Amino acid sequence: MARKEEANPAETLPDMPAEENAEPTATATEGAGASAETPTDTVESKTVRLAAVADRASRCTACDLANTRTHVVFGEGNPEAPLVFIGEGPGQNEDATGRPFVGRSGVLLDQCLRENGITRKHIYICNVIRCRACVLEAGRLKNRPPTPIETDACSPWLQQTLEIIQPLVIVCLGAPAASAIIHKNFRMTQERGQWFEARFTRYAMASWHPAYILRLEGEAYEAARRTLVADIAAARQKVIEAKREPKMTLF
Ligand code: URA
């Protein structure tokens, strides 16, 4: 008979116990990264510490996006999640609401998660940059990729988020997230779906960004969507395997 966690990921993911590693505290001055070790690692401490980092991020002026944003979109979800998803950056809907992945991309992502028995309360989700990058074109604000300066300026927030959560598995949605987490110049067509050891987790992989899938049509759309669903299934399975691995300790 199948093990319980393999039979129903919706029951398994939120039940995963917290890791016991010591973790750094976010003590950055505005926009700068810093860390210190604390012995506690409870849901409450993670929630409080994430909220403190989010509060500092809400006042961030480390790059020019501070001048055009409506909200800093810090990230949200389960602070104890073993599985973290990272996108590129907020779009119009996210900027308006202050919440990640609430537009069309978010709807598609939620569908793909649900097909794996996963909801937002099982995961944590955030972006490489936390303010909307956009450009005025023909009188309309259009999303644009973040510049390296903007990505660098925002990296302490991503770093502190992951240092607090300590995910077992990270799924990067799209090349910008993969380049920030896995390695520079990540090539989606060659490296999508492969597992990499990364700075903030033993297991990181990249899959198609939902916004990319939404730009496709017909069979190409269906195939890319199926791939994202399958990659999420692989990530879920990796969480189960990682939970069974012995902890890495020095002594
Ligand atoms: N695309 C992203 O990369 N992040 C969001 O939060 C929304 C859309």
Greatest pairwise CA separation for the chain in angstroms: 62
pLDDT of residue 12: 55
Alpha-carbon Rg for the chain, nearest whole angstrom, is 18
Q: How far is the CA of 89 from the centre of ligand 1 (A)?
A: 5
Q: Which two tokens stand for residue 168?
A: 């077992």
- For the Cβ of 87 lying below 6 angstroms from any atom of ligand 1, the answer is yes
pTM for this predicted structure: 0.85
Q: What is the 3-state secondary structure (H, E, C) of 133-164?
A: CEEEECCEEEECCCCHHHHHHHHHHHHHHHHH
pLDDT of residue 59: 98
For 56, which DSSP code? H
Instruction: Answer yes or no: are the C-beta atoms of 226 and 106 closer than 8 Å.
Output: no
| ∠ Cα 47 179 121 (to 5°) | 30
Report the run of H or E that residue 106 belongs to, with start and end.
helix 104-114
pLDDT of residue 43: 79
- For the Cβ of 101 lying below 6 angstroms from any atom of ligand 1, the answer is yes
- For the Cβ of 95 lying below 6 angstroms from any atom of ligand 1, the answer is no
- Residues in CB range of 68: below 8 A, 6 or more apart: 131, 132, 134
Q: How far is the CA of 120 from the centre of ligand 1 (A)?
A: 14
Q: How far is the CA of 106 from the centre of ligand 1 (A)?
A: 7
Distance CA 216, CA 211 (A): 9
Q: How far is the CA of 86 from the centre of ligand 1 (A)?
A: 9
Domains in the chain: ranges and CATH = 10-23+41-244 (3.40.470.10)
Can you give the pLDDT of all 251 residues of the chain as single tens digits? 444 444 444 445 544 433 333 333 332 333 333 344 454 568 789 999 999 999 999 999 999 999 999 999 999 999 999 999 999 999 999 999 999 999 999 999 999 999 999 999 999 999 999 999 999 999 999 999 999 999 999 999 999 999 999 999 999 999 999 999 999 999 999 999 999 999 999 999 999 999 999 999 999 999 999 999 999 999 999 999 999 988 765 55
Report the run of H or E that residue 204 belongs to, with start and end.
strand 201-207
**210-230 burial, b if ≥16 CB within 10 A, otherwise e?**
bbbbbeeeeeeeeebbebbbe
- For the Cβ of 129 lying below 6 angstroms from any atom of ligand 1, the answer is no
- Nearest atom of ligand 1 to the alpha carbon of 94: 6
Mutation pick for ligand 1 pocket among 85, 86, 101 (CB with most ligand atoms within 8 Å) = 101
- Nearest atom of ligand 1 to the alpha carbon of 174: 3
